[in-house]
Amino acid sequence: MQIFVIRHTKVLAGRKTCYGQTNVPLAESFAEEAAEIKTKLPNDFDAIFCSTLERCKVLALEMQLKNVQHDDALIEFNFGDWENKLWNDIDPNELNIWMEDFVNLPTPNGENVLALYNRVAHFLDKMRSYNYEKVLLVTHAGVIRCIWSYLLEMPVKNMFKIPVGFGEILVFNLGKEKVMDSIKEKM
């Protein structure tokens, strides 16, 4: 099964803002970015799955994707009490403790990275049972990093070393068995 994965377009929240599951507004360049993404994609998907967060749903709608299935497995990391705060406003002691073991330690009232990874891995494992040939996922950087970790079987603690740009497209093959998985390209 060939899977195309898109990260949503740019958002107005800057790099200084901690957002994950917060519905942040899209940047003014949204229409142009969406149009460019659409030109890079085939239009013969057997299935389309989309995060339930607005920035992905709006992108799917703008691209006029049909029969989109919304799935919470594709939502971004939950930063809990840190959502929509400036990174500089988060207690540095709390932040440092979390960063020492973000794989296992949840953010206050949020989740840990292992929970995000497990939800994405479960989604991909479930995908193997479907008879689709070509699938599109519209999602977020954290989910895409988990997909990379899953495909490469690399430690989850290293996933933040993988850059994922806004509007970036990853294409990979998901085999019936994990040994048959392969990464095709980044677009």
Q: What pLDDT does 187 receive?
A: 65
Sole residue written with tokens 């929509």: 84
Span 164-175, pLDDT tens digits: 999 999 999 999
Instruction: Please tell me the distance from the alpha carbon of residue 97 to that of residue 28, in angstroms, as a whole number.
Output: 36
Average pLDDT, integer, range 38-49: 95
Q: How many domains would you assign to the chain?
A: 1
- Which band of pLDDT confidence, cut at 50, 70 and 90, is reported for residue 185? confident
Span 107-127, pLDDT tens digits: 999 999 999 999 999 999 999
Please classify residue 56 by burial: count the beta carbons closer than 10 Å to its beta carbon, then call 0-12 exposed, 13-18 middle and 19+ buried.
Answer: buried
- Which band of pLDDT confidence, cut at 50, 70 and 90, is reported for residue 79? very high
9, pLDDT greater than 80: yes
Span 50-78, pLDDT tens digits: 999 999 999 999 999 999 999 999 999 99
The rounded percent of the chain whose pLDDT value lies above 70 is 99
Q: What pLDDT does 186 receive?
A: 72
- Domain residue limits at 168: 2-186
Q: CATH number of the domain that 46 lies in? A: 3.40.50.1240
Mean pLDDT of the chain: 96
* pTM for this predicted structure: 0.95
